[in-house]
Amino acid sequence: MNETKKTPAKILITSGPTRQYLDPVRYLTNASSGRMGASLADAALRRGHEVVIVSGPVAVDYPSGAEVIPVVTTDDMLRVANEVFPSCDGAIGAAAPCDYKPLHVSDQKLSKTGRPLQLDLVETPDVIAVLGESKRDDQWVVGFALETDDRRFRATVKLQKKHCDLMVSNGPEAIDASDNHVELLDPAGSVIETISGDKPHVADRLIHHIHNRLILR
């Protein structure tokens, strides 16, 4: 009997960027494309799992077999993820939510004045950290850590701080790219596998480890 058929999981995947508006037309964001989230969803679906994607604004096409819930801001992503996660077996945080938002949002378009514009920014909630802290004993959370320096060390710190079961470490070259180079870390910070290639290949290897280490446990 096919082992995957015996153990289908419902997986929440966060994907894409979020937007934090300064005024009705301008916003803070990043160049996350959603390709990694789409590839992870496809790989999970091919293994027979159920997938719910909570996605910020992207142009990428998600697999037709996945349920997609669109959001805009980091607060939106957290709210929806919190609603969906209790019915899921696990979550993969492939999104790149904005870490900061304006303290004040103008209800009118900001006009040029010829002077510097000062923005007061405050931190947004950490979606995966909230899910990791709230997970039940029968749930798991996999995070992504994008760092420019001391990648493995910082990823390990994030893994522990966010109560993740595995952490994927990568760099800024992954943003809006077709390929990726990642390290998959276990809770002790040891490298399970270093994976390079196009994002579908990377996603397939990641789902392989998630399936064997977390879903089948």
Catalytic residues: 30
Cα 14 versus chain centre, distance = 4
Q: What are phi and psi of 157, to 5 degrees?
A: -60, -45
| Six token digits for residue 68 | 């997609």
Pairing state between β 27-28 and 166-170: unpaired
